[in-house]
Amino acid sequence: MAKVQKFEELVAWQKARDLNNAIYTITRKREFAKDYRFARQIQAAALSAMSNIAEGFERNRPAEFHQFLSVAKGSCGEVRSQLYAALDVGYLDQEEFTRLRDFAEEVGRIINGLRSSIGNWEK
């Protein structure tokens, strides 16, 4: 297996990017777009996930990468929590909520898998 040379090659970053795009798309619609603070908050959480993967990778130190992946995974949890709030106030219907929540969970699992493998690099 070839060594990853750029963060863009990481499936975790690619999936986090897709999640970010999905969140930006949904927050630009209907009532969600009118709630500027809430839309910006969930957008920031989604952006944080992909950004922390990239930043941690670029630091080129396994321990730091592991820490940044922990933050990225936490950001996926923040997105999920905010999706519940968006559902509760009527910004998302059940189908949109379920699709996005499941996607955020998937991204979190992928990040956690990468984080676990980074932890093994240090041993």
Residue 29 identity (one-letter amino acid)? K
pLDDT number for residue 123: 40
Reduce the secondary structure of the chain to three states and give it as a string. CCCCCCHHHCHHHHHHHHHHHHHHHHHCCHHHHHCHHHHHHHHHHHHHHHHHHHHHHHCCCHHHHHHHHHHHHHHHHHHHHHHHHHHHCCCCCHHHHHHHHHHHHHHHHHHHHHHHHHHHHCC
What are the structural domain ranges in the chain?
9-121
Closest residue by Cα to residue 75 from 7, 20, 34, 9? 20
Cα–Cα distance for residue pair 27/111, rounded to 1 Å: 24
Q: Which CATH architecture has domain 9-121?
A: Up-down Bundle (1.20)
Chain segment 80-96, per-residue pLDDT in tens: 999 999 999 999 999 99
d(CA 112, CA 123) in angstroms, rounded, equals: 17
**Closest C-alpha among 42, 44, 68, 67 to residue 55:** 68
Q: What is the pLDDT of residue 120?
A: 61
**pLDDT value of position 109:** 98
Residue with tokens 């980074």: 118
Cα 68 to Cα 51: distance, rounded to the nearest angstrom: 9
Residue 3: per-residue pLDDT: 86
Give the residues of the chain that fall short of pLDDT 50. 123
